[in-house]
């Protein structure tokens, strides 16, 4: 995951599993942090899928 601000590789802050109660799907959720400019980003990847991570939040 590249930082949207400085374009450098962000470090993984936290990894856990999220669950969508509507679809019953489970996701590998990863939270990234760039210490340099205090930027956060989150990806949620369906466990059964190899699709490209979908960035759901970044600021």
8 Å CB contact between 30 and 47: no
Q: How far is the CB of 9 from Zn ion (least distance, A)?
A: 9
Among 7, 30, 29, residue whose Cα is nearest residue 20: 29
Q: Which residues bind Zn ion (CB under 5 A)?
A: 3, 5-6, 34, 36-37, 39
Which C-beta is closer to Zn ion: that of 26 or that of 39?
39
Q: How far is the CB of 50 from Zn ion (least distance, A)?
A: 27
Which C-beta is closer to Zn ion: that of 13 or that of 46?
13
């Amino acid at each position: 995951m590249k930082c949207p601000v400085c374009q450098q590789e962000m470090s993984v802050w936290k990894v856990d599993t999220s669950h969508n109660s509507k679809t019953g799907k489970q996701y590998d959720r990863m939270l990234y942090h760039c210490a340099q400019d205090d930027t956060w980003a989150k990806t949620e990847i369906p466990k059964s899928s190899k699709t490209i991570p979908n960035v759901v939040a970044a600021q």
